[in-house]
């Protein structure tokens, strides 16, 4: 199983190591550094490396490498999943996952790692169990701890660890009972030069934030569940119910969690919310080129496209860009050859356009590789039921009257029809938010 | 207030300060000090000097402090074993604590202290904890057994912990079950032959129940364990599949992939016409696709596994081509994998899309990726015939871009396309020739030279082109030199008039000026061939070449089967069998897909992987010549069908009587060839040089070479077992018969020696066979015309036919014979080598072989070991060929030669074989597949006797 873990930053310093079995010298990381030297980008370092005596399995997260050493035949996915879980836990505990924050909380980090693995076998990886074992640091607690000498390690057995619902702790109490669900769909698409969709699919996720007292048993049903044929669930979801009734029935974990991921494959038609008209060309003679990009709405389901942004990876020879944008600002990041055009809200009456001249390095040949456009965007909508008193705590921009009357803004058209609670007497406040985003949305030129 | 303050003390005497703080009376100060120590430890500073002071803090009721001290202990106990003993009492006490959390913590920490002395004290507490009332303690204790096993395996066995652990598989708590399985799996890895995880339907049921309730990690352990089980029948197989399928919807990708492994393996057991089989196939696609939307590292592992899955069952993902389209910001390792899978999925239905994508990729920035994309276009052309034309035109477009590396890759793949579709796309040669000068990579140069040589008759200035390459002959890489040599010889055979000088030049460059034995040998062969029998040379060099096929880059079936059983593991990422891993797999069992008749025997002998066996050096030069010749023949010559008898060495240069290249060349060479005893005048060039350079090596090496050459295709080397006594004299009133079976030129003969050991003359011999498995019968009467007088022996050969009456014998190759003479009738039985029945046209087409191999169910496969055989694969192949066992293809993987062989019995039964030969390992592994698996045993015995003879 997992033998050791090394945390390494971008400049190649090992700033934390943890061994669950015997100690492995950190010279083993040299094989990784070698591979890192060879790679153009840090992302390009192969995740599984073979050394004479060990295997190195690495994930790259938030500018850090989580490098684990294994000695026996283990499923690499298991290790990779675990390493991502470690990063998630740091994020959850400290608000971010960075070298400085890990160094600031090194003892907590060490305690966490000790609880997460035993002899290389995962022990407690559920956030709520960990939090019962080791309380996350807060400013208040550290002050209190200093004054009273109490510790931030729990001394009770985490109840969830043995129950059949290990993701939920017992005796949860809230004065305001709320359950919020964000249905987020990301469009991954490749459009070709002429705007034709080469490939498009939807990655959907239902993120939940549930703060409910006791042991609530929730049921969520959809208007059009037949869309969901490729799903993966949080362990709390009862699979049998889903198979037979196509409803999600579950006892939720406490707090934030991902209820479900779904995937709508490229075989289904996918609504592409915007179109892009672009013309980037370089002259045969003279060190310059021309750029002209216009973006307009396509299938937006009547909703506003927000946070629109275009990123263009330019050929190496492009030195600078002299452009005019009818809306938003553009910047050219020379070292990374990245042109970023931040548009904001898309106004269908007045389409944003970016136009101008690109200048190339003197004497450079006409670039061989084509630039590629990546697009970011966001379309969202909110549906609420129950008493909207505490809406502000959730910090939503807009609140729509009732969920049953508004159309889903998702490109699949998926929509939650009901959310019911059993097992507890109180009436919770429920809300569903729909967001469509661009995932890996690429336009070829 | 953050922990970073712990790092700030850089003053002198840091250790000293910490020591003082650790011994402070104030609890808070103590804790802070321990934290500082831990912080130093995490960054690799040596704080072991503080051992006694830290251990002193252990006796505390503060759980956090206790944990911190434990952390420290685990790290440093090894270096301070005597001190660590001090901690034992506290551990033992804590194992009795009322709080299960403390009990578990104590037993867990004790297991992590890798000191022998401590482990002795651990046994008793561990035994208690394994039976603790609290499941949390039990599950921790289960893992502790694995830890202890790692430190002292003997102790664990002696104390009976393994049995306790096995009992825990039936525990009521799913987490305990999962941990017990995990611990046992880890222990089992170091004990490959122990039956630790002895799975039976009851335990399987327990595991399946626990599977639904335990954590995601536990599910991985259980699924991986389930994958080792062999269901009894298809019904059990189906029911396990049904219970595993819901795991495909798990959010944890490792759970998903482990479930895929179980399903892929158990699916083999299901009849293909079963409805459920189809359902299962459909269910497998979505989770695999979903894996591709995860983080790039997960994608990579998933893609490596999908690569295996699409080779085994392409139908699963055949509609999902688009998800493998490469995105601009995919890491390079993901891009390359996706490309590979795209080609595997390419079919007539989606080829247009694929080609458009590939063309797009070939304009990307990343050079490696672009190269692979160009190569992929070529592979598509070879795979999907209908697309070949489009592929070629795409490649031509790419050549027009003049991007250097694109052009070179394109030329390499166009060469392959020519070899797949001869006489179809030669019109593009002109375009290729335009780019001759820009080629600087050996592979591209060699490919171009091959094209020029192959199509010399269509290229007007072929001689000029090749000549230009010849100028820098010695600076070229071997690959290019060899290719240049062959190309020029081809050119000469096609246009003999203009190119004599060129061919002489290249032959002398290759034979005289080169140190490379391969090059020299090939040079000699051509020279010799051209000088002795130009007609044969033409037949050989310009022979029609076998078409290449797309199968070349597939993983061979047996390895693929094994890898399918290892989906999700490191082996699946590296596409190597687990036995190929140096470390870690301390003797992994070879897993085969169930249903294999001899799956129990397929465990490789333990000395196989690790044995640093000293290879016996090839005994003679002949051996290596044989290799070369073999290579050469495989490369671009067809095996010589007729080879003349080896010329007497004295007249090695006897070519005066030769009719060089028939009449055409006669006139060309002026017809006065015969005049020069050593060398044709026109051809020979300076005769002084030729014989000199020729004679020396020819006398020895080349003659040997030709001896060998004549042996290759001819049956004279066939293995015939020596005569054995079939009928002893005492049993047959003085008649002794010994004999053997031979197959000569397609005729089976029974050769007998009859001896009269009696006192009287024997006459009136006759013979008859009982019905037998292959219908062997005498094709004529036993020809013994003269009476056999006492103490006289006579040889008799009886031709046999295979059209006689049939009855299955045991063993299969048993033959019961009755011999009559004037005295009595005698009966005996003998066994004939099954190779007698291998017919001469037993060489299967490659494609047919592949298809047949896949088609024959796995139940019909048997695996055997041939021990102590010291031949290399080529020698073995030659030997076997003489017994009509034909090698169809050879591949070398990880130092292992895989020979794919076929043979056909007289009754039309085909036997397919895969022979694995590893350099340095005298044990061969052979897998036999046949629709009539009964013959496998016989065939194996035959292999053994042929190879060891």
Q: Is the pLDDT confidence value at A105 over 80?
A: yes
- Note the pLDDT tens digit of each residue in B2-58: 555 555 544 556 778 888 888 877 777 888 888 888 888 776 677 888 888 888 777
Which residue of A75, A147, A168, A366 to mutate against B (max B Cβ within 10 Å)?
A75
Q: Most confidently modeled of B108-117, B171-180, B893-902?
A: B171-180
The C-alpha of B163 sits at a distance from chain A's nearest C-alpha, in angstroms, of 20
Q: Under an 8 A CB cutoff, do B290 and A232 touch?
A: yes
Highest mean pLDDT among A76-80, A418-422, B607-611: A76-80
End-to-end CA distance of chain A: give it in Å, rounded.
Answer: 46
For the stretch B290-336, pLDDT in tens is 888 888 999 999 999 999 999 988 889 888 888 899 988 889 999 99
Average pLDDT in chain B: 78
C-alpha to C-alpha distance for B609 and B480, rounded to whole angstroms: 36
pLDDT computed for residue B660 by the predictor? 37
**What is the average pLDDT across B770-778?**
85
Tell me the C-alpha distance between B100 and B102, whole Å: 5
Measured distance CA(B384)–CA(B346) in Å, rounded: 8
Residue A84 vs residue B872, higher pLDDT: A84
Model confidence at B943, pLDDT cuts 50, 70, 90, reads confident
Q: CA-to-CA distance for A362 and A385, rounded, in angstroms?
A: 62
Predicted pLDDT of residue B778? 83
Q: Do A265 and B71 touch (CB under 8 A)?
A: no
Inter-residue contact B467 to B487 (CB < 8 Å)? no
Q: Report the gap between the CA of B552 and the closest CA in chain A (Å).
A: 26
- Min CA distance, A148 vs chain B (Å)? 9
Query: Can you give B348-387 as a three-state secondary structure string?
Result: CCCHHHHHHHHHHHCCCCCHHHHHHHHHHHHHHHHHCHHH
Question: Which residues from chain A sit within 8 angstroms of residue B75, using beta carbons?
Answer: 19, 23
Q: Give percent above pLDDT 90 in chain B.
A: 8
User: Which residue intervals of A325-418 are DSSP H helices?
Assistant: 391-394
β-strand B747-756 against B735-744: which pairing, if any? antiparallel
User: How would residue A79 be classed by pLDDT, with cut points 50, 70 and 90?
Assistant: very high
The 3-state DSSP class for residue B207 equals: helix
Find chain B residues with C-beta within 8 A of A166's C-beta.
215
Q: Do the Cβ atoms of A107 and B258 come within 8 Å?
A: no
Cβ-defined contact of B42 to A74 (cutoff 8 Å):
no
Q: Average the pLDDT over each of B167-176, B185-194, B664-673, B792-801 and give the range with the smallest value.
A: B664-673
Which of A:85-144 have CB within 8 Å of B?
100, 103-111, 114, 118-119, 121-122, 125-126, 139, 142-143
Q: Are the Cβ atoms of B99 and A155 closer than 8 angstroms?
A: yes
Contact B938/B872 with Cβ under 8 angstroms? no
| ipTM score above 0.90 | no
Position B275 scores a pLDDT of 87
Q: What is the mean pLDDT of residues B478-507?
A: 88
Q: Tell me how close the Cα of A189 comes to any Cα of chain B, in angstroms.
A: 9
Q: What is the share, in percent, of chain A residues with pLDDT greater than 90? A: 14
Mean pLDDT of B705-711: 38
Across the interface, do A76 and B570 touch by the CB < 8 Å criterion? yes
CA–CA distance, B380 with B352 (Å, rounded to integer) = 10
A59 touches chain B (CB under 8 A): yes
Let me know: does B947 contact B867? Beta carbons within 8 Å.
Answer: no
DSSP-derived pairing of the beta strands A429-444 and A178-191 = parallel
d(CA B356, CA B378): 13
B363/A368 Cβ within 8 A: yes
**pLDDT tens digit sequence for B67-81:** 888 888 887 877 777
**8 A C-beta contact, residue B586 and residue B190:** yes
Q: Which of A137-151, B168-182, B532-546 is predicted most confidently?
A: B168-182
DSSP letters for B735-766: EEEEEEEEEETTEEEEEEEEEE-SSS-B---E
Residues of B with Cβ-Cβ distance to A113 under 8 angstroms: none
Q: Compare B899 and B595 and report the one with higher pLDDT.
A: B899
Q: How far apart are CA A360 and CA B732, in angstroms?
A: 103
Q: B406 and B398 in contact (C-beta within 8 Å)?
A: yes
Contacts of B272 (CB under 8 A, 6+ apart): none
pLDDT interval class at A64 (50, 70, 90): very high
Mutation target among A43, A78, A161, A313 for the B interface, most CBs of B within 10 A = A78
Is the peptide bond between B811 and the residue preceding it cis, with omega within 30 degrees of 0? yes
Token pair belonging to B809: 């014998």
Kindly tell me if the per-residue pLDDT of A16 is higher than 90: no
pLDDT given for residue B496 in this prediction: 83
Given pLDDT bands bounded at 50, 70 and 90, which one contains residue A65?
Answer: very high
What pLDDT, on a 0 to 100 scale, did the predictor assign at position B704? 39
A336 in contact with B, Cβ within 8 Å: no
Asked whether the beta carbons of residue B6 and residue A125 sit closer than 8 angstroms, the reply is no
Which residues in chain B have Cβ-Cβ distances shorter than 8 Å to A20? Answer: 112
Name the residue with higher pLDDT: B379 or A406.
Answer: B379
Q: From CA B532, how far away is CA B527, in angstroms rounded?
A: 8
Confidence grade of residue A162 (pLDDT, cut at 50, 70, 90): low
Mean pLDDT over B594-613 rounds to: 38
Within its chain, how far is the Cα of A120 from the centroid?
27
Rounded-to-5 percentages of helix, strand, coil across chain B: 55, 10, 30
pLDDT confidence of residue B590 = 52
Query: Can you tell me the distance from the alpha carbon of B459 to that of B456, in angstroms, rounded to the nearest whole number?
Result: 5
Share of chain A above pLDDT 70, in %: 85
Contact between residue B509 and residue B692 where contact means Cβ atoms under 8 Å apart: no
CA-to-CA distance for A284 and B836, rounded, in angstroms?
A: 74
Say how many residues make up chain A. Answer: 445
pLDDT value for A155: 52
Average per-residue pLDDT for chain A: 81
- Among candidates A26, A41, A315 on the partner chain, residue whose Cβ is nearest the Cβ of B44: A26
Residues 209 through 268 of chain A touching chain B, CB cutoff 8 Å = 229-235, 239-240, 242-243, 258, 261, 263, 265-267
For residue A263, how many other CB atoms are within 10 A of its CB?
A: 24
Helical segments of A19-136, H only: 29-38, 76-94, 99-104, 106-116, 127-133
Question: What are the chain A neighbours of B64 within 8 Å (beta carbons)?
Answer: 111, 151-153
CB interface of A with B, residues 383-422, below 8 Å:
none
Q: Region B909-937: what's the mean pLDDT? A: 84
Q: Which of A285-294, B547-556, B596-605 bottoms out in mean pLDDT, i.e. has the lowest?
A: B596-605
Name the residue with higher pLDDT: B19 or A398. Answer: B19
Write out pLDDT tens, residues A197-219.
Answer: 888 888 889 999 888 998 899 99
B691 vs A417, residue with greater confidence: A417
Strand (E) or helix (H) holding B913: strand B910-918
Window from A202-206, A219-223, A288-292, A369-373 with minimum mean pLDDT: A369-373
Smallest CA–CA distance, residue B303 to chain A, in Å, is: 11
A413 pLDDT exceeds 70?
A: yes
Q: Which residue from B213, B289, B570 is facing A230, i.e. has the nearest CB?
A: B289
Give the three-state DSSP class for A419: strand
Strands B825-831, B910-918: pairing kind:
unpaired
The single residue listed with the structure tokens 């070991």 is B865
On chain B, the residues whose CB falls within 8 A of the CB of A442 are 327-329
Lowest mean pLDDT among B9-13, B490-494, B773-777, B873-877: B9-13
B352 Cβ contact partners less than 8 Å away, ≥ 6 residues apart:
B387, B390
Q: Quick one: what percent of chain B has pLDDT higher than 70?
A: 83
- Work out the minimum CA distance from A423 to partner chain B, whole angstroms: 21
Place of tokens 């796309």: B425
Please name the residue of chain B whose CA is at the shortest distance from the CA of residue A65.
B297
Q: What is the mean pLDDT of residues B242-267?
A: 91
For B910, the 3-state DSSP assignment is: strand
Report residue A161's pLDDT band, with 50, 70 and 90 as the boundaries. low
- Residue A330: alpha-carbon gap to chain centroid: 26
pLDDT for residue B329? 83
At residue B773, the pLDDT reads 84
* Cβ within 8 Å, pair A232-B64: no
Q: Best interface-test mutation with A: which of B251, B258, B292 has the largest number of A CBs within 10 A?
A: B251
pLDDT bracket for residue A193 (50, 70, 90): confident
The pLDDT tens digits for B659-701 are: 333 333 433 343 343 334 434 333 433 333 343 334 333 333 3
pLDDT at A151: 52
pLDDT band (50, 70, 90) for residue B374: very high
Residues A73, B246: C-beta atoms closer than 8 Å: no
Q: What is the pLDDT of residues B577-593, one digit of tens each?
A: 877 664 444 444 455 55
Selecting from A23, A75, A105 the residue whose C-beta is nearest the C-beta of B257 gives A75
The span from the CA of B436 to the CA of B448, in Å, is: 8
d(CA A116, CA A110): 10
Q: A385 or A401: which carries more pLDDT confidence?
A: A385
Ranges of H-type helices in A316-428: 391-394
| CB-nearest partner of A258 from B64, B251, B328 | B251
Output the six-digit token pair for B937: 């045993």
Set of chain A residues whose Cβ sits within 8 Å of the Cβ of B331? 41, 43-44
- Give pLDDT tens digits for B506-540: 888 888 888 888 899 999 989 888 888 888 888 88
């Amino acid at each position: 199983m997992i033998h050791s873990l090394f945390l390494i930053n971008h400049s190649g310093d090992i700033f934390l190591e943890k061994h669950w079995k015997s100690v492995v010298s950190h010279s083993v990381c040299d094989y990784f550094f070698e591979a890192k030297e060879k790679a153009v980008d840090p992302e390009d370092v192969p995740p599984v490396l073979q050394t004479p005596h060990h295997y190195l399995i690495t994930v790259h997260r938030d500018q850090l490498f989580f490098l684990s050493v294994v000695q026996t035949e283990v499923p690499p996915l298991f290790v990779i999943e675990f390493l991502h879980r470690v990063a998630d836990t740091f994020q959850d505990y400290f608000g971010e996952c960075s070298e400085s924050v890990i160094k600031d909380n090194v003892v907590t980090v060490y305690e966490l790692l000790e609880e997460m693995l035993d002899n290389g076998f995962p022990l407690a990886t559920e956030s709520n169990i960990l939090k019962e074992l080791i309380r996350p640091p807060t400013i208040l607690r550290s002050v209190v701890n200093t004054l009273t000498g109490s510790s931030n390690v729990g001394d009770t057995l985490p109840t969830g660890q043995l129950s059949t619902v290990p993701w939920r702790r017992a005796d949860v109490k809230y004065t305001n009972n709320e359950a919020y669900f964000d249905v987020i769909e990301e469009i991954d698409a490749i459009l070709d030069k002429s705007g034709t969709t080469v490939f498009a699919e939807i990655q959907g996720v239902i993120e939940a934030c549930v703060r409910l007292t006791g042991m609530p048993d929730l049921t969520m049903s959809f208007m059009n569940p037949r869309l969901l044929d490729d799903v993966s669930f949080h362990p709390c979801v009862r699979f049998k119910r889903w198979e037979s009734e196509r409803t999600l029935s579950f006892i939720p974990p406490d707090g934030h969690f991902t209820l479900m991921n779904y995937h709508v494959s490229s075989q289904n038609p996918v609504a592409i919310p915007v179109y892009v008209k672009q013309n980037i060309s370089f002259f045969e003679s003279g060190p310059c080129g021309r750029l002209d990009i216009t973006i307009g709405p396509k299938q937006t389901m009547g909703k506003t496209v927000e946070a629109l942004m275009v990123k263009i990876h330019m050929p190496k020879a492009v030195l600078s860009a002299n452009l005019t944008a009818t809306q938003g600002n553009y910047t050219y990041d020379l070292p990374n050859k990245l042109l970023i055009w931040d548009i904001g809200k898309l106004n269908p009456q007045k389409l944003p356009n970016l136009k101008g001249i690109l200048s190339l390095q003197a004497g450079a040949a006409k670039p061989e590789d084509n630039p590629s456009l990546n697009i970011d965007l966001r379309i969202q909508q909110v549906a609420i039921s129950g008493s909207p008193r505490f809406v502000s705590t959730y910090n939503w921009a807009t609140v729509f009257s009732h969920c049953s009357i508004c159309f889903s803004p998702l490109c699949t058209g998926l929509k939650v029809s009901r959310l019911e609670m059993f097992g507890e007497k109180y009436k919770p406040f429920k809300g569903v938010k729909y967001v469509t985003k661009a995932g890996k949305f690429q336009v070829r030129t | 207030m953050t922990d970073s303050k712990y790092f700030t003390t850089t003053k002198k005497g840091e250790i000293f300060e910490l020591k003082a703080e650790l011994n402070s009376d104030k609890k808070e100060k103590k804790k802070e000090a321990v934290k500082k120590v831990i912080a130093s430890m995490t960054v690799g500073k040596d704080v072991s000097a503080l051992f006694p002071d830290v251990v002193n803090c252990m006796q505390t009721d503060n759980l956090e402090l206790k944990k911190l001290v434990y952390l420290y202990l685990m790290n440093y106990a090894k270096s301070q074993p005597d001190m660590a003993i001090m901690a034992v009492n506290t551990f033992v006490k804590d194992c009795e604590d009322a709080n299960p959390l403390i009990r578990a913590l104590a037993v867990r920490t004790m297991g992590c202290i890798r000191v022998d002395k401590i482990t002795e004290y651990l046994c008793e507490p561990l035994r208690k904890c394994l039976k603790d009332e609290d499941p949390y303690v039990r599950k921790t204790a289960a893992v502790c057994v694995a830890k202890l096993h790692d430190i002292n395996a003997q102790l664990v066995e002696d104390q009976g912990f393994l049995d306790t652990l096995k009992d825990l598989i039936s525990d009521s708590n799913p987490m305990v079950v999962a941990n017990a399985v995990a611990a046992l799996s880890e222990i089992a890895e170091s004990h490959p032959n122990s039956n630790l995880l002895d799975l039976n339907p009851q335990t399987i049921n327990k595991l399946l129940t626990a599977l639904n309730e335990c954590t995601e990690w536990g599910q991985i352990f259980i699924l991986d364990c389930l994958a080792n089980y062999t269901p009894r029948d298809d019904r059990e197989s189906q029911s396990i599949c049904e219970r595993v399928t819901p795991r495909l919807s798990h959010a944890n990708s490792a759970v998903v992939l482990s479930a895929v492994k179980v399903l892929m393996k158990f699916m083999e057991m299901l009849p293909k016409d079963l409805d459920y089989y189809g359902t299962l196939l459909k269910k497998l696609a979505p989770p695999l696709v979903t894996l591709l939307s995860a983080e790039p590292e997960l994608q990579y592992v998933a893609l490596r596994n999908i690569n295996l899955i699409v080779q085994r069952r392409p139908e699963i993902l055949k509609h999902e081509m688009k998800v493998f389209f490469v995105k601009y910001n995919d890491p390079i390792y993901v891009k390359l994998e996706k490309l590979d899978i795209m080609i595997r999925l390419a079919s007539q239905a989606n080829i247009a899309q694929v080609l458009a994508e590939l063309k797009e990729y070939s304009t990307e920035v990343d050079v490696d990726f672009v190269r692979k994309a160009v190569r992929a276009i070529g592979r598509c052309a070879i795979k999907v015939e209908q697309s070949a034309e489009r592929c070629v035109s795409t490649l031509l477009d790419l050549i027009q871009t003049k991007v250097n590396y694109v052009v070179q890759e394109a030329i390499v793949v166009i060469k392959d396309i020519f070899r797949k579709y001869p006489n179809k796309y030669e019109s593009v040669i002109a375009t290729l020739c335009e780019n001759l000068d820009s080629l600087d990579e050996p592979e591209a140069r060699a490919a171009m030279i091959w094209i020029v040589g192959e199509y010399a008759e269509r290229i007007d200035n072929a001689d000029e082109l090749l000549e230009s390459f010849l100028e820098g002959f010695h600076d070229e890489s071997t690959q290019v030199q060899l290719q240049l040599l062959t190309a020029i010889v081809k050119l000469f055979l096609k246009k003999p008039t203009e190119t004599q000088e060129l061919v002489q030049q290249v032959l002398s460059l290759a034979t005289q000026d080169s140190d490379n034995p391969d090059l020299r040998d090939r040079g000699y062969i051509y020279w010799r061939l051209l000088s002795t029998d130009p007609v044969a040379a033409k037949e050989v060099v310009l022979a029609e070449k076998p078409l290449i096929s797309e199968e070349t880059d597939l993983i061979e079936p047996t390895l693929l089967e094994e890898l399918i059983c290892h989906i999700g593991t490191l082996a699946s990422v590296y596409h190597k069998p687990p036995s190929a891993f140096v470390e870690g797999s301390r003797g992994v069992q070879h897993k085969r897909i169930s249903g294999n008749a001899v799956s129990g025997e397929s465990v490789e002998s333990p000395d196989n992987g690790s044995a640093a066996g000293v290879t016996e050096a090839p005994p003679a030069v002949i051996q290596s010549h044989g290799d070369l010749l073999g290579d050469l023949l495989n490369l671009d010559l067809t095996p010589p069908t007729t080879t003349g008898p080896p010329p007497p060495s004295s007249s090695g240069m006897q070519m005066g009587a030769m009719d060089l290249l028939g009449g055409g060349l006669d006139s060309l060479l002026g017809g006065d060839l015969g005049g020069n005893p050593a060398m044709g005048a026109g051809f020979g060039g300076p005769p002084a040089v030729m014989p000199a350079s020729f004679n020396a090596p020819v006398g020895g090496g080349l003659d040997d070479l030709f001896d060998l050459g004549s042996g290759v295709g001819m049956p004279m080397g066939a293995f015939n077992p020596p005569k054995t006594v079939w009928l002893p004299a005492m049993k047959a009133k003085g008649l002794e018969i010994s004999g053997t079976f031979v197959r000569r030129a397609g005729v089976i003969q029974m050769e007998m020696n009859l001896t009269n050991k009696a006192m009287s003359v024997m006459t009136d011999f006759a013979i008859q066979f009982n019905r037998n498995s292959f219908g062997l019968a005498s094709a004529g009467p036993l020809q013994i015309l003269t009476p056999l007088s006492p103490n006289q022996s006579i040889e008799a050969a009886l031709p046999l036919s295979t059209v006689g009456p049939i009855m299955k014998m045991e063993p299969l190759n048993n033959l019961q014979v009755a011999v009559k003479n004037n005295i009595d009738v005698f009966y005996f039985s003998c066994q004939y080598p099954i190779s007698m029945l291998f017919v001469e046209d037993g060489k299967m087409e490659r494609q047919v072989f592949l298809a047949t191999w896949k088609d024959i169910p796995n139940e019909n496969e048997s695996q055997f070991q041939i021990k102590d055989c010291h031949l290399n694969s080529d020698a073995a192949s030659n030997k076997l060929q003489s017994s009509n066992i034909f090698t169809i293809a050879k591949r070398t993987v990880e130092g292992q030669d895989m020979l794919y062989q076929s043979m056909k019995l007289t009754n039309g039964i085909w036997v397919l074989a895969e022979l694995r030969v590893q350099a340095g390992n005298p044990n061969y592994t052979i897998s036999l597949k046949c629709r009539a698996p009964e013959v496998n045993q016989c065939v194996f015995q035959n292999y053994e006797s042929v190879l060891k003879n």
